Amino acid sequence: MSKKVAVVTGSNKGIGLSIVKGLCKRFDGVVYLTSRDEARGKAAVADLNKQGLHPEYHQLDVSDKESISKFRDHIQEKCGGIDILINNAGFAIANNIDFSYDFEENKKIIDINFKSILTIQELIFPLLRDNGRILNISSDCGHLSNIRNKYWADRLSSKNLTLKDILEFVDWFLEGCKNKSLKKEDIADGGTIAAYRVSKVALSAITILQQKELLKRNISVNSMHPGFVRTDMTKGNGFLSVDQASETPLYIVLDAPDSLKGAYIWYDGKAVDWYDCNGEYYFKISTYIEQLVSAVKKQNI
């Protein structure tokens, strides 16, 4: 009987690395640490080895279809399949948090945070074994309340949601950036980090469709907001350490009841209503700024 296999994308640092650590301690099988940069990935593995943990390593750039294909072929040959897949790789919020029409930067954020998942779905999902678990790491930026354009909020919240709807939503945003027709009011919080919000909302939405498609094989597909975590992405600010933030992802893929499927899960492990357009779940830039100010004050004490 082949060994069980867990894969974490973008896991050479931050939450991804902490998830790998937790899996190495608790998961009865092979754990793959993957990263875009091979040197950094192997350095992370070497550090874990010093701690008595021994994940496997393979290079994986989720924005590069050839890289994903090579990883697929490796897993197929060495392991035969995957039991747990955690899609953690993502592109950090740009330095400019204000509303921006920068088409190239916004497209890059969406390509990495959302479009890459479509390639992974095409190439890697066929390797998922029956009863497997997939977790897409989203964000509070991925809750539907981040979208204030009524047409798109209504269309994305339809129970008959299709991939065409999600792709056209993303295209609407990018086209609006290109021709400057997008309004700040279309996105929550005055349009701050708009591309990041759109990419994560699209990721949360595609999770719903992925679950419907894989339900017949009893594969669980969920998305989650990991909390405001002290990582490079948040410039070291946040309420949670990476180890604290890894607790809920580990719970979802290792301990959650089989009934937890197609959910959007908060960092405390509770499923919340992703469709609640009027909820207070959306990311507020004021929270981020407060953390930055607090950090500066501590440095000056």
Residues assigned a catalytic role: 196
Q: Is the dihedral of CA 110, 244, 265, 88 positive or negative?
A: positive
Nearest-angstrom CA–CA distance, 14 and 36? 14
The 3-state secondary structure of 108-134 reads HHHHHHHHHHHHHHHHCHHHEEEEEEE
CB distance 84 to 5 below 8 Å: yes
Q: Which residues contact 52 (CB under 8 A, 6 or more apart)?
A: none
Look up residue 231 and give its amino acid.
T
The pair of three-digit structure tokens given for residue 179, joined into one six-digit string: 């021709």
The pair of three-digit structure tokens given for residue 301, joined into one six-digit string: 């004490």
Coil, strand or helix at 283: coil
Tell the burial category of 182 from Cβ atoms under 10 Å away from its Cβ (0-12, 13-18, 19+). Answer: buried
